[in-house]
Structure 1
């Protein structure tokens, strides 16, 4: 893996030099855009709005429009100088229980690796977090953007889990949601029994993107001149009158599988 950032974790007055690595990767299909008539690949160009001429990458700069048509050009050094300390620091500002953080806030994981000179301090922070059962709430700057994250231990590793700011999480107050007034206790009991039947220990390796597998099969069929067939049927909403019968049938199926 290649480090995408280097700096320090600030823990009180202790600075721990670290490198940051991405902890996730995309597993999507790489699809090209084509012209429908002759399947010619489409290329995206950076074009000047005034003269419609293509602009080479090395001639492109970033600018902020502070008034109509007037720009201030910002260099990489300007972004760094905006806060020289923050661009090189993961500053732990608070310690909290991870269970207090709404899951909607979690965004992306990163791995933290210490430099040789910071190995002992890294191990100290990791052990202190393990024993306290808490996580550190940290602020930092990554890719010219201020960010928040939580620092937490995982075995011998410290993870920085990027989280969203509160203004980035939408409120759900405008949604029309049902109340539980029309539920019968028997229905709830059956639903709880079904949950018990389906309960297991979480194993992430058990799950994978089955949609990508189905899509690859369609690609393979079409490459060999075969007409693709739809997988399964679109699900239909359950009728209220069928709820009890479907719950009972679901329980029967799970008991058969278990037997």
Structure 2
């Protein structure tokens, strides 16, 4: 596993040299864009909308579009003027209780490994976080962008969880997404609670698998065995779900019956 960032954690006047690793991995299968009739791979080109000519990389700049349609060119020196200082430091500036952070703020996990010379001070921070029951709120710069994060302990490891800034989140009420003035009967609510009780269990991440990749590979292998123009065996039919127009109470009763069976 290759480190994606090297720096240190600033904990009071203590510095902990560390390496940062991505805490996630992608299972995506890369598919190329091809022309259907002869399977020729598609190549993307950068074309000017005005004259239709291809534009080489050296002639391409970044521009901010004004209301009148004109562009203000932003060059490398402009970005450098406003770029946050690359401190290579994860600065802890506050300690808080993790439950105070709504889940919508959590974004991306990273694994922190201490340098050999910093194992003891790493262990000190880990044990102090454990005992306090708190997480370290911190700021760090990665790829010229400043991020907010928390340092938290999972088993014997300190993880850095990148979190979103408040102004990155949308208010659902702005788009009228929250239903209001809806009356729910006691019978409907009791039955919904029964469904929740029937399906309640403890969280075990080993139970949950993303089967899409396996299903895609199986489908590709099946298609590879067929001749061009032939259709592979049809996929199994999906279970029918109740239509939105069906009576809510009937849907709840059917749901309970399906769970018990």
Does the aligned pair in 1 maintain the 2:140–2:146 contact within 8 Å? yes
Distance, in Å, in 2 between the alignment partners of 1:222 and 1:201 is 39
3-state SS, counterpart of residue 152 of structure 1:
strand
Q: Does 1:72 align with 2:75?
A: yes
After TM superposition, the structure 1 stretch with the greater mean CA deviation from structure 2, 247-256 or 163-172, is: 247-256
Distance, in Å, in 1 between the alignment partners of 2:19 and 2:61 is 27
Q: CA deviation at 1:12?
A: 1.3
Q: How does 1:194-213 map to 2 (within 5 A)?
A: 194-213=195-214
Q: How does 1:181-196 map to 2 (within 5 A)?
A: 181-196=182-197
Change (3 A) 1:147 1:236: same
- Residue of structure 1 aligned with 2:54, choices 52, 77, 83: 52
Distance, in Å, in 2 between the alignment partners of 1:235 and 1:249 is 10
Give the equivalent residue in structure 1 for 2:170: 170
Change (3 A) 1:118 1:110: same
Cα displacement string for residues 210-238 of structure 1 (whole angstroms, at most 9, x for unaligned residues): 33333333323322224352443474534
5+ residue gaps, structure 2, are: 65-69
Give the equivalent residue in structure 2 for 1:237: 243
Cα displacement string for residues 76-129 of structure 1 (whole angstroms, at most 9, x for unaligned residues): 9x59985142xx100111111111111111111000000112111111111111
Does the aligned pair in 2 maintain the 1:64–1:73 contact within 8 Å? no
Does the aligned pair in 2 maintain the 1:48–1:54 contact within 8 Å? no
Distance, in Å, in 2 between the alignment partners of 1:168 and 1:202 is 29
Distance, in Å, in 2 between the alignment partners of 1:71 and 1:181 is 50
After TM superposition, the structure 1 stretch with the greater mean CA deviation from structure 2, 147-156 or 220-229, is: 220-229
Q: Normalised by the size of structure 1, how large is the TM-score?
A: 0.82
Q: How does 1:145-160 map to 2 (within 5 A)?
A: 145-160=145-160
Distance, in Å, in 2 between the alignment partners of 1:219 and 1:119 is 47
3-state SS, counterpart of residue 76 of structure 2:
strand
Give the equivalent residue in structure 1 for 2:25: 25
Tell me the C-alpha RMSD between the 2 structures.
3.1
Does the aligned pair in 1 maintain the 2:242–2:251 contact within 8 Å? no
Q: Normalised by the size of structure 2, how large is the TM-score?
A: 0.82
Distance, in Å, in 2 between the alignment partners of 1:184 and 1:202 is 30
Q: CA deviation at 1:255?
A: 3.1
Q: How does 1:103-114 map to 2 (within 5 A)?
A: 103-114=103-114
Q: CA deviation at 1:52?
A: 2.6
Distance, in Å, in 1 between the alignment partners of 2:61 and 2:136 is 34
Distance, in Å, in 1 between the alignment partners of 2:122 and 2:34 is 50
Distance, in Å, in 1 between the alignment partners of 2:137 and 2:232 is 53
Give the equivalent residue in structure 2 for 1:254: 259
Distance, in Å, in 1 between the alignment partners of 2:114 and 2:34 is 45
